[in-house]
């Protein structure tokens, strides 16, 4: 067990805090999204949106397509996480840690804003008999995810 520290002077305390904040800020400032990160996450989201649309279609292999899309999404997320860790030597999460509960709301909000319209649009198009339009709508998840990824990262860096 460590002994209680002798109480530092206010000046020493300020110096300790400033040094800790400086090293933390320098560490966070070098975090960046790896090249191709959003391509991977966006492709996963697009595959999921189209998979759900196919799953709701009358196509006999719709359920299989949905399960495959789900697998693609899981693989994409795992790959994106690996890429981020390899690039930065650190992992961040929107669901816990630095961002706190507010960050969780941001992640859930982004999911709703980015993915849900693509899923609903792709499914509606598929059910209405427009499979090509459905695929195009699902593909919109790719650029939307790229924008959302960048927005979240910028917000994360701002919160340091």
**Are 84 and 91 contacting, i.e. CB atoms less than 8 angstroms apart?**
yes
Question: Which residue reads 């789900």 in tokens?
Answer: 70
- CB 121: neighbour CB atoms within 10 A? 19
From candidates 91, 112, 127, 128, binder to other proteins by CB under 8 A:
91
Which of 41, 134 has the CB closer to other proteins?
A: 41
Give the CA distances from residue 99 to residues 7, 61, 90, 102, 106, in Å, rounded to whole numbers and listed in that order. 31, 41, 15, 6, 9
Task: Tell me: does residue 98 bind other proteins (CB under 8 A).
Answer: yes
Residue 90, φ and ψ in degrees, nearest 5: -155, 155
Interface segment toward other proteins; rule CB under 8 A; list 24-32, 47-55, 60-68, 123-131: 24-32
Identity of the residue, 31 or 133, whose beta carbon is nearer to other proteins in the bound complex = 31
To other proteins, the closest distance from the beta carbon of 155 in angstroms equals 14
What SS3 class is residue 109?
helix
Q: How far is the CB of 59 from other proteins (least distance, A)?
A: 39
Residue 17 interacts with other proteins (CB under 8 A)?
yes
Asked if 53 and 138 count as a contact pair (C-beta separation under 8 A), the reply is yes
Q: Which residues bind other proteins (CB under 8 A)?
A: 2-5, 7-11, 13-14, 16-17, 19-21, 23-24, 26-28, 31, 82, 85-86, 88-93, 96-98, 160
């Amino acid at each position: 067990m460590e002994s209680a520290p002798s109480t530092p002077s206010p000046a020493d305390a300020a110096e300790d805090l400033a040094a800790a904040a400086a090293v933390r800020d320098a560490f966070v400032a070098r975090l960046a999204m790896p090249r191709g990160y959003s391509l991977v996450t966006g492709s996963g989201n697009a595959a999921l949106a189209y998979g759900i649309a196919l799953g709701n279609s009358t196509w006999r292999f719709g359920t299989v397509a949905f399960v495959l899309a789900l697998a693609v999404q899981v693989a994409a997320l795992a790959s994106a996480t690996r890429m981020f860790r390899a690039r930065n030597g650190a992992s961040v999460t929107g669901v816990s840690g630095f961002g706190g509960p507010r960050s969780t709301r941001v992640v859930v909000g982004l999911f709703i804003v980015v993915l849900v319209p693509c899923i609903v649009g792709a499914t509606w198009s598929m059910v209405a008999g427009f499979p090509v339009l459905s695929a195009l709508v699902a593909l919109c998840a790719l650029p939307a995810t790229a924008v959302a990824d960048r927005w979240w990262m910028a917000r994360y860096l701002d919160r340091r």
